[in-house]
């Protein structure tokens, strides 16, 4: 009996040990598969560790790596910092436009090694940069900064012929005087504002500058609508509604005599 009980005990221990062993292997395989599956769903992407100004040289201190969902990776991103940093003696890459902290660095926003960076590289396709003269009154008191969007209003004429019309809508400001950094939130009194326009808009803007005074109307951040606006004249603002005295005032009459006694009265409006 004792040998039978001892054999049974050893058999139980063997079965338990085998179960633990196989369970451990199963869990290890399951965890490994989960890790592979997680790694397969994401990819390393280089993003800005701080705000990067337009034209600023790319350095290691402004780069960091995050895991990005593979199916949502933006086009043209960098996956290794070595692709962004120059070799010894090589000129650096530069930011072609401002990059906000946390944004991925992309080929469209980063220059080549030693490539010259100018404001032209911030323009959208098929657009031009054009400067217009402004002052504190016509540039929203100096609160216009690069990156803002404005409407351009033309005022022309004198006295009763004075009129105003919006000639361009939703126009992007790409520079104020010599400042083109859209991360700059400090307003200032500008003398020149550079705007992004199409070729046709540029012709209208050039003609409008010769025709009268141009003013900028600052738009809200989410307002991208184009509104059908008519010309506003001074007479529209000074419209004088008729008073009872004017309505009761007799109107002049023209009397037309035909023959000797036939008289026709014609009121004059």
Tell me the domain boundaries of the chain. Answer: 1-40, 43-104, 125-238
Rounded alpha-carbon distances, angstroms, from residue 138 to 63, 95, 142, 192, 209 = 41, 31, 9, 11, 13
Structure tokens at 185: 């939130």
| pTM of the predicted model as reported, rounded to 2 decimal places | 0.52
Greatest mean pLDDT range, 2-16, 87-101, 132-146, 236-250: 87-101
Nearest Cα neighbor of 95 from 146, 54, 147, 50 is: 54
pLDDT of residue 227: 79
Mean pLDDT of 221-244: 74
* DSSP strands (E only) in 94-239: 128-133, 149-156, 163-176, 192-197, 213-218, 232-233
* pLDDT reported for residue 260: 62
Task: Please report the pLDDT score of residue 36 as a whole number.
Answer: 42
Report the distance separating Cα 136 and Cα 156, nearest Å: 19
* pLDDT band per the 50, 70, 90 thresholds, residue 37: very low
- CA distances in angstroms from 40 to 33, 36, 70, 79, listed in the order given: 10, 6, 8, 15
- Contact (CB, 8 A) for 45 and 77: yes
Q: 196: which 2 tokens?
A: 């992004």
Q: What is the pLDDT of residue 196?
A: 93
pLDDT at site 14: 54
Q: Residue 243 pLDDT > 80, yes or no?
A: no
How far, in Å, CA of 56 to CA of 97, rounded?
9
Task: Give the mean pLDDT of the chain.
Answer: 77
Higher pLDDT, 227 or 88: 88
């Amino acid at each position: 009996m004792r040998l039978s009980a001892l054999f049974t005990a050893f058999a139980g221990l063997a079965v338990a040990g085998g179960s633990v062993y196989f369970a451990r292997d199963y869990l290890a395989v399951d965890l490994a598969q989960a890790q592979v599956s997680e790694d397969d769903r994401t990819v390393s992407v280089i993003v800005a560790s701080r705000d990067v100004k337009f034209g600023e040289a790319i350095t290691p201190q402004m780069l960091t790596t995050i895991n990005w969902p593979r199916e949502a990776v933006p086009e043209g991103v960098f996956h290794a910092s070595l692709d962004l940093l120059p070799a010894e003696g090589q000129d650096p890459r530069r930011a072609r436009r401002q990059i906000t902290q946390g944004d991925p660095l992309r080929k469209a926003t980063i220059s080549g090694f030693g490539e010259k960076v100018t404001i032209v590289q911030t323009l959208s396709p098929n657009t031009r940069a054009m400067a217009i003269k402004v002052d504190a009154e016509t540039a929203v008191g100096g609160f216009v900064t690069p990156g803002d969007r404005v409407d351009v209003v033309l005022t022309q004429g004198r006295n009763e012929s004075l009129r105003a019309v919006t000639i361009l809508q939703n126009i992007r400001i790409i520079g104020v005087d010599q400042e083109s950094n859209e991360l700059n939130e400090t307003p200032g009194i500008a003398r020149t504002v550079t705007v992004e326009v199409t070729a046709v808009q540029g012709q209208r803007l050039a003609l409008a500058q010769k025709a009268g005074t141009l003013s900028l109307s600052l738009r809200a951040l989410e307002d991208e609508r184009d509104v059908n606006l008519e010309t506003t004249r001074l007479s529209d603002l000074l419209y004088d509604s008729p008073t009872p005295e004017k309505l009761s005032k007799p109107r002049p009459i023209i009397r037309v005599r035909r023959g000797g006694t036939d008289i026709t009265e014609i009121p004059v409006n």
